[in-house]
Structure 1
C-alpha cells in the first residue's frame, strides 16, 4: 500500500468516526472536512511529486470531492450521510469564499414560511429563527467562513411592488435596496421580481393547491333519511299513494260485483271471525256507511303496514285486491331490506363528501378562501382578467399577513387555503405531531401546476455566482430535499390517508351520540302525537253519534 493511500484511508476512517459520534455540529464538521480535504490534497501532491503549495487543478478538485463523498457515504445513519455529503460539498467550495468580506456576518432577509422557517420575536431572547432552512444557512455560512445574521422586514411580507419606480415591500424590498446580502427564504420569483433582484438556481419544486378542513362524521338529525335520496323518498311516497288508491278502487269494484245472499246479511271473513253485515248497506253505500269506512281503513292499513314490516288484521279478498296487495308487499320488502342494509352500512363505515375538489367547485360554494398577502399568488389574483377563475375568487378571498392566524382558521374550518403544497404539508406535520390527527385535505387537482423556489440577491451581487455552484451541488446531491422531508416526516401518514376520490372513508370509530337518535325520536314522537289525536277524534265522533 502506498503512503498516500494509507493516509487517505486513515483520514476517511477518522471522518466517519467523527460523524458517527456527532451529527449536530454542521459548522464544526464542515471546517473539519475542509482541513481534511486540504491535508488529503497535500498528500496526493507529495505522492505525485508536486509542491504542497501548488494550486490544485479543476480535475484534481473534482477527484478530491468524489473521493470524499464516496468514502464518507458509508456512515451508518441516514442523517450522517446527508451531513457528510453537504460538508463534502462545502469542502470543495473554498473558492466560493474568495473575495467575500468575512469580517461581518452574512445578512439574510427572512419571514415566516411554513415548512421552511419559523420566525418569532420574543421579549427576552429577541429574534428566534428555526426550521430546516437554517441548516442550509449554516452550510452557506461555513462555505463563506462567516456567520449569519437575520433581518425581518417591518411588514413581515415576502414582497410586492408598490409603484413603477422600483419600490418594493417585504424581503424583496430589503434585497433590492441592498439592506441585506440575500434572502434567507426561498421565493417564487416572477418577471417583476427578477427585474428588481438577481436569482439563484432553483432549490425546490412546488405546486399550488387548495386545502380545507377534512369533514368527519357527526351526529345528524336527518341521518335515518340518508339511505335514500330525496328523489327516491318522493317516489316511494308516490308509490304508497298509488297503492292506496288502487286498493281502494279494487275493493269498491269487488263490492259491486260480489253476489249477495237473499237474506238480510252477508258473511265476511275478517281475521278468522264471522261478522254479519247488511247487504243493502254493502251494495248502496259507495264510500259511505260501514262498508265504505272499512274500504278506506283496510286500504290505508295495508299500504302502511307492508313497508313498515308490521302485521295487519285485514286480509285481502278477491283476485284483483290480492294481486295489488301482493305486488305492494313484494315492493315493500325490497324497499325495507335495502333501507336497513344501507343504514347499517352507513353506521359501520360512514362516508362523508368533500365540499370541493377543485377551484371551480370552490367558487360554487360560499366558503371563504385565504391567500397569503404580498405573494406572487396574491398578485395573480389581483391581476386576473374578468371572467377567469382567479377573478371570481376575489369575492371569496381573504388576504392578510398573519400566517399563524390563517393556519388556525384553516384548521377550524373558517376558510379554505390557497397556498403551496409544501406549506400545507408543514401544517399537517405540525398538527399530527401535536394531536395525532390529519384535519386537512388537499384538492386532488392542482390549480396552476408546478413552480420553483429560488433565493434573491441584490442586483450585481458577487454572491450570486459564488453560491450558485454550492446550491447546485446541494440540490443535485439531494441534501435540500432530505432536510425538508426530515422536517415534515409526519405529513407522509396524512398523505396516505387522503382519498383521491370525492368521498372519504372514516377509518376511526365514532361512538354514537344522543344526537344520532334525535331523528328517530322525533318520528316516534310524531307518530304518538298522531295516534293520540286520532284517538281523541274517534272518542269525540263516537260520543257525538251516541
Structure 2
C-alpha cells in the first residue's frame, strides 16, 4: 500500500468488513465480508490477496496474480520418542528376503551335492552337519566339525562366512546409531488421515471460497470434508481466532486447522519466537491450489496502473521478498525435521522391542521342546509295545 500510494499519488484509509471475513455469495446475489465492501463500492480496492474465482470475477476485477496459494493442514507435532522396533530398520524387507533366500540356496546346494556323492565317501551325518553349519554362521554360533574332504564345501562355507561377517557388522553399526535417534510423530500428512481419525475436529475459516469448494466437490477428500460441514467434527473460526485455537486445542492434539498457506505466514513464526520450538507442522499434501491477486471495483480507474505494478512486483521478486521477511523466523518451522539425534543412556523403553522378540523366541523354543519330549516319549512307548 505504501508503494502504491507513493507511485500513484493517493492517500488511503483502511476499512474492515463487519464480519471480519473474506466473503461469500449469498442466495440473494449479494456478498458478505470484504467482497461485499468492494462489490457495493464502499471501498475502492484491496491488496488482498484474494483467490481468483470465476464467480467472484462477475462482481469485481482482479489484478494479475501475485502468487499461488494452497490449502494445507496445520497440526501439532508429537514429542520425540524412541521406536522400540527400530532394530528392524537397518535392513529393509527386501534385504531380509534376499538373506533368507541365499541361505536356503546355499543349504540346498550343499545338501544336494552331498547326497549325490558316492556312498563310500560320505561320512554319516555329513549332509546334515554341512547344512546346519550355514545356519549357525548366520546366527553367529559355533560350527560342528566334519571330516569332509571336499574342497567345494569349505569354499562355499568360507564365502558364506565372509558374507555374513560384512552383513552382521554393518547391521550392528547401524543399530548402535539408531539407538540415538528420536522420531517426532507427524501423522496428518493427508486430509484422509484426518478424516479417518474420528476423535480429531477440523477448524476452517467461515465465509471463504474453500467453503464453496467443499460444498460443490463431487468426489475425493474435499467432498468427504464437505459432507462434515454442519457437524461437530467441523469448527468455524474467524482468521483472528486462529492463533488462540492453535495455542490451545490444536496444541492439545484434539483439533487441526485446514486453511490457506498464506494465513500461516505469521502464525508459525510467532509461535516459534515465543517458545523457541517448532511445535506445529504443515502437511505435505496440498489442496485447492489457486492463484491469488489484488481486487478492485469493476472497471476501476486504478486497475490499469495496479496491473502494471503487479507485474513489476512479481517479476522483480519484491513480493516474495516481502512475504519472506514479513515476520521474524518466517522460515524456521517451514520444514521441521521428523528425526533428531540425542545423546542419552540406554533404557528399557528404548529396548523393549528386542526383549519382546527374545521372550517370544524363548517361549516358542520351550513349546517345541515340550512337544519333542511328549512326541518322543510316546514314540518310545509305541516301539516298546511293538517289540514286546
- Residue in 2 that maps onto 1:117: none
Point out the structure with max Rg over C-alpha: 1
Aligned length: 358
Structure 1 position 317 matched with structure 2 position 147: yes
Offset of 1:471 from its aligned partner? 11
In structure 1, how many angstroms separate the alpha carbons of the residues matched to 2:301 and 2:98?
73
- Residue in 2 that maps onto 1:427: 267
- Residue in 2 that maps onto 1:16: none
Structure 1 position 517 matched with structure 2 position 347: no
8 Å CA contact 2:82–2:182 kept in 1: the answer is no
Offset of 1:429 from its aligned partner? 0.9
Gaps of 5+ in 2: 196-201, 382-388
In structure 1, how many angstroms separate the alpha carbons of the residues matched to 2:37 and 2:260?
23
Distance change >3 Å, CA 330–CA 184, structure 1 → 2: closer
In structure 2, how many angstroms separate the alpha carbons of the residues matched to 1:389 and 1:526?
41
In structure 2, how many angstroms separate the alpha carbons of the residues matched to 1:383 and 1:542?
72
- Residue in 2 that maps onto 1:488: 327
8 Å CA contact 2:51–2:209 kept in 1: the answer is yes
In structure 2, how many angstroms separate the alpha carbons of the residues matched to 1:247 and 1:396?
64
8 Å CA contact 1:221–1:517 kept in 2: the answer is yes
- Residue in 1 that maps onto 2:292: 452
In structure 1, how many angstroms separate the alpha carbons of the residues matched to 2:157 and 2:263?
63
Distance change >3 Å, CA 321–CA 232, structure 1 → 2: same
Matches within 5 A, 1:323-402: 323-347=155-179, 362=190, 366-368=193-195, 372-384=205-217, 400-402=235-237
In structure 1, how many angstroms separate the alpha carbons of the residues matched to 2:54 and 2:376?
90
Q: Secondary structure at the match of 1:429?
A: helix
Distance change >3 Å, CA 347–CA 470, structure 1 → 2: same
Structure 1 position 208 matched with structure 2 position 70: yes
- Residue in 1 that maps onto 2:94: 231
Offset of 1:306 from its aligned partner? 0.8
Q: Secondary structure at the match of 2:82?
A: coil
Q: Name the TM-score, length of structure 1 as normaliser.
A: 0.50
Distance change >3 Å, CA 323–CA 374, structure 1 → 2: same
Offset of 1:529 from its aligned partner? 2.9
Offset of 1:223 from its aligned partner? 1.5
Matches within 5 A, 1:50-449: 86=2, 96=10, 140-141=12-13, 150-153=16-19, 157-163=21-27, 165-173=28-36, 175-176=38-39, 186-196=49-59, 198-199=60-61, 205-208=67-70, 210-211=72-73, 218-248=81-111, 256-258=119-121, 282=124, 296=128, 298=129, 301-312=132-143, 314-318=144-148, 319=150, 321-347=153-179, 362=190, 366-368=193-195, 372-384=205-217, 400-402=235-237, 404=242, 407=246, 419-438=259-278, 439-441=280-282, 443=284
- Residue in 1 that maps onto 2:384: none
What is the root-mean-square deviation in Å for CA atoms of aligned residues?
A: 5.2
In structure 2, how many angstroms separate the alpha carbons of the residues matched to 1:253 and 1:489?
78
Offset of 1:472 from its aligned partner? 8.5
Offset of 1:450 from its aligned partner? 6.1
